[in-house]
Amino acid sequence: MEKYHPMKSLAPRDIVAQAIDRELKKSGDEYVLLDITHRTRDFLTSRFPNIYEQCLEFGIDMAKEPVPVVPAAHYICGGILVNAFGETTIDRLFACGESSCTGLHGANRLASNSLLEALVFAHRVFHRIKERLPGADMPDLPVPPWDPRGATESDDSIVVSNNWDEVRRSMWNYVGIVRTNKRLERAKRRIDLILQEIEDYYWNFTITRDLLELRNIATVAKLIIACAMKRQESRGLHLNLDYPERQNGKWKKDTILKRNALEPLP
């Protein structure tokens, strides 16, 4: 880390993640090593009890050997614009936590901010919903029996699991820590193709939980890619090598997605 920032391993998390990504791409390794063996076992068990126990489950003793690590991608980090009560631009749709854009954090979300939003905004959302429920219009809508319309049980569930894995790999490889326009275009083509396959599968076979989850995951992936392509700058956790500088004053107008901002999704 001394090559990337004067604070070394204590640099901001986006700097550390990008440095790890660069080193892995240069070496071809699957992980880097985090060495904290200079600390005593008592310190590790008291300061990092959960991490210490988790590592032991994988056969790694933090007190004696380095820990293999890779950066994690925060795909949704303050993406949904809300007001002070967690309300979005869609009536009666609320968002809080890491998916919401409250203005309480910058482009680099910190654990303390996430905790603040998860607790405070969840509490405020609850009270706003509680206020609105007594006067809410709750019509008694009859729900007709599910009509499969000729759909049959699928004997090829590998299609769902394969597409699920492809969405994960496409997002990690092309929309992960370091982005470029070319990588985003590749991801968009693949996700569009997967969404079309899901649509065909949806209308021909009996609905399952895995299929619905896959459709939701692919839809969110499409939205994330669209947002990343609109943001022609680099800021915090969003790094695009084709747009390395910040564009202060312009990014919010161009990149906040509201209702009907994208083409219709399946």
Name the active-site residue from 13, 22, 128, 186: 13
CA-closest candidate to residue 262, choices 192, 202, 187: 192
> Hey, how many other C-beta atoms are within 10 angstroms of the C-beta on 87?
19
Closest CA to 178 of 245, 230, 225, 241: 241
Q: How far is CA 174 from CA 18, 78, 135, 138, in A?
A: 14, 20, 46, 44
Cα 158 from Cα 214, distance rounded (Å): 12
Specify whether 209 is catalytic: no
Residue 191 CB burial class (10 angstroms; 0-12, 13-18, ≥19): buried
Tokens of 30: 């699957």
Concatenating the DSSP letter of every residue in 17-76 gives: HHHHHHHHHHH--S-EEE--TTS-HHHHHHHSHHHHHHHHHTT--TTTS-EEE-----SS
Contact 239, 233 (CB under 8 A): no
Indicate which residues carry an active-site annotation: 13
